[in-house]
Amino acid sequence: MFGLLLLAGCAGGVSRQDAMTFNTTLAQGDYSSAAKVALASGAIEPDGKSKNLAWSLNAGSTLVYAGQPAQAVKVLDGAETLMKEQDLSNFGNTQYEYATYDGIMVNVYKGLAFLGAGDKASARVEFNRVGDRQSRAEEEFAKKKQKLDDEIKNKSDGSFDIATAMQRAQEDNSYKDFQKELGKYANYRPFINPAASYLRALYLMSSAEGASDLEMARSELIRVRDMVGPSQLIKEDLALLTQNRKKATAKTWVVFENGQAPTFAEYRITFPVPVLQKKGHIGVSAVTIALPRMDFHPQADGHLSIAAGKAETQTSPIGDFDRVMASEFQRRQDAVMARAVAEAMVKIGLQSAANQTDNQFLKIAAIVGSQISTADTRSWTSLPKLFEAARLDAPKDGRLTLRTQAGSPIGTVEVPADQSSIVYVKEVAPGSSPSIQVFPL
């Protein structure tokens, strides 16, 4: 038992000190240094291979922000390899258990990185994978749920009622308080990221190889509109699809990653559950389980103001990542609790078996083991809180000026004057240095 507890903390772990260093560097807007911290903490090799998914995800995205697309692709390829291994493995995997939104964002960042490297063909593959992941999300969720159900069934010996235990846990005030907070955010369609759909639409409408690409772009924009609400930006983007492409002028889109995505913290629940003992007697055991809860963070800025010559506009929402994460987490929450309760069941079984022996060491070990419960609070912490976007005609002089909502200058960006492009802006915290990348479409 102690050996298993030690092993659980090795592969795929994230040390608290490394995480603090990474998050501090990220909040300052030093994306190159943040990438170095993630690469070192995850022992990620130069070819992108890794044994630590959480660090691979954070390293991959910060390399994109730092303007190192070639290395970002290698690291994100390594992350996808770990995801595939996780999908194929049985229970006992100690890697960070990735969410659907993680997989979607891997393909988004790889698509952007390929655009940054001038490889449009590979970018097309990644943006098509975004669509594929979102279309398969419900099916994949059902498979993972069945896998968990089988795992829990294998652990059950008939002496412990998991359904009753979950009901007791859900009566806890800490759990109820978190549900109220979660309910404020969990109102998106689960497993769908409208910002990812928007970026895919921009690629398809700018690099269309036929009518089917334009129709898919239309479908993605309508999905964004349906999730985010009425939007003048989306309305105008949809109108572009009906224009004569030979006469169309180049466009410049500004996409703004605003703030930091929710992180996870641990909270504990202790509750009584009935346990079937020898000779059919019913006993009561106190069970403590640790669960993850979401912590939400402030925006970095209200919006961005953009000017190109005499034209001016500002960013508007294309996706609330708080809601993306909360909606999926709410869907997965029962599975998280079921796994925690099942693990508690095993500990109760060990304690019950130890109590039937004269071995004092086993009794003490079982008592200590029953008190150890840890929630997995790892996450892809460099993801944003909000996605916003704006669009202008590509400036004739190739210069775009960015300002904060308060009017403070962010910088002047050089963009293609005769080609559509995405100006990708990342700002993690108020006052932090932004990352500005230009991706030709």
For 162-166, what is the mean pLDDT? 78
pLDDT at 60 over 70: yes
The pLDDT, as a whole number, for residue 184 is 92
Query: In this predicted structure, what is the pLDDT of residue 328?
Result: 95
Reading the block at residue 407, the tokens are: 């009017």
Q: For the full predicted model, state whether its pTM sits above 0.85.
A: yes
The 3-state secondary structure of 105-141 reads HHHHHHHHHHHHCCCHHHHHHHHHHHHHHHHHHHHHH
Lowest mean pLDDT among 229-238, 292-301, 344-353: 344-353
- pLDDT beyond 80 at 157: no
Residue 259 has pLDDT above 70, yes or no: yes
In a domain? residue 14:
no
Asked whether residue 405 is assigned to any structural domain, the reply reads yes
Q: Give the separation between CA 233 and CA 214, rounded to whole angstroms.
A: 17
| Contact by Cβ (8 Å): 394, 419 | yes
- Residue 79 maps to a domain: no
**pLDDT above 90: residue 146:** no
pLDDT class of 94 with cuts at 50, 70, 90: confident
- Quote the domain boundaries for residue 253: 99-440
% of the chain with per-residue pLDDT over 90: 65
The region, left, alpha or beta by phi > 0 then psi within -120 to 50, assigned to residue 401 is beta
Q: Is the pLDDT of residue 151 over 90?
A: no
Q: Which two tokens stand for residue 324?
A: 């993306």
Distances (CA, A) of 86 to 94, 110, 132, 360: 9, 20, 19, 39
Distance CA 218, CA 222 (A): 6
- Among 7-11, 72-76, 147-151, 277-281, the least confident range: 7-11
Q: In this predicted model, what pLDDT tens digit does every residue of 197-215 receive, in sequence order?
A: 999 999 999 999 999 999 9
Backbone angles phi, psi at 76, to 5 degrees: -70, -30
Tens-digit pLDDT profile for residues 374-433: 788 999 999 999 999 999 999 999 999 999 998 899 989 999 999 999 999 999 999 899
Q: If pLDDT is split at 50, 70 and 90, which confidence band does 10 have?
A: very low
Tell me the pLDDT of the chain averaged across its residues: 87
Asked if the structure places residue 381 within a domain, the reply is: yes
Better-predicted residue by pLDDT, 360 or 423 = 423
Give the pLDDT band (50/70/90) at residue 284: low
* H, E, C per residue of the chain: CHHHHHHHCCCCCCCHHHHHHHHHHHHCCCHHHHHHHHHHHCCCCCCCCCCCHHHHHHHHHHHHHCCCHHHHHHHHHHHHHHHHHHHHCCCCCCCCCCCHHHHHHHHHHHHHHHHHCCCHHHHHHHHHHHHHHHHHHHHHHHHHHHHHHHHHHHHCCCCECHHHHHHHHHCCHHHHHHHHHHHCCCCCCCCCCHHHHHHHHHHHHHCCCCHHHHHHHHHHHHHHHHHHCCCHHHHHHHHHCCCCCCCCCCEEEEEEEECCCCEEEEEEEEEEEEEECHHHCEEEEEEEEEEEEEECCCCCCCCEEEEECCEEEECEEEEEHHHHHHHHHHHHHHHHHHHHHHHHHHHHHHHHHHHCCCCHHHHHHHHHHHCCCCCCCCCCCCCCCEEEEEEEECCCCCEEEEEECCCCEEEEEECCCCCCEEEEEEECCCCCCCEEEEEEC
Cα–Cα distances in angstroms (integers) from residue 310 to residues 82, 220, 397, 439, in the given order:
49, 31, 12, 23
- Closest by CA to 23, choosing from 68, 71, 55, is 55
pLDDT for 349: 63
Q: Region 116-141: what's the mean pLDDT?
A: 93
Residue whose token pair is 């038992």: 1
What pLDDT score does 2 carry? 43
The tally of domains found in the chain comes to: 1
In the predicted model, is pLDDT for residue 332 greater than 70? Answer: yes
Q: Is residue 56 part of a domain?
A: no
Query: Rounded distance, CA 375 to CA 271, Å?
Result: 17
Closest CA to 23 of 65, 56, 62: 62
Name which of 14-18, 136-140, 191-195, 222-226 the model is least confident about. Answer: 14-18
Residue 165 pLDDT more than 90?
A: no
pLDDT band at 145 (very low <50, low <70, confident <90, very high): confident
The confidence score (pLDDT) of residue 161 equals: 67
The residue-averaged pLDDT of 311-315 equals: 95
pLDDT for residue 84 is more than 90: yes
What is the pLDDT at residue 1? 43
User: Lowest-confidence range among 173-177, 356-360, 362-366?
Assistant: 362-366
Question: Cα separation of 345 and 352, whole Å?
Answer: 10
For range 27-37, the mean pLDDT: 96
- 306 in a domain, yes or no? yes
The DSSP bridge pattern shows strands 435-440 and 399-404 to be unpaired
Nearest to 254 by CA among 426, 48, 382: 426
Instruction: Work out the percent of the chain whose per-residue pLDDT is above 70.
Output: 84
Q: In this structure, is residue 89 part of a structural domain? A: no
- The pLDDT assigned to 42 comes to 95
Given a contact cutoff of 8 angstroms between Cβ atoms, the answer to whether 106 and 98 are in contact is: no
Least confident of 183-187, 267-271, 415-419, 424-428: 267-271
Confidence band, pLDDT 50/70/90 cuts, at residue 153: low
Strands 251-258 and 421-427, bridge-based pairing:
parallel
Task: Please compute the mean of the pLDDT values over residues 217-235 and round it to a whole number.
Answer: 95
Query: Across residues 158-169, what is the average pLDDT?
Result: 74
Residue 273 domain-assigned (yes or no): yes
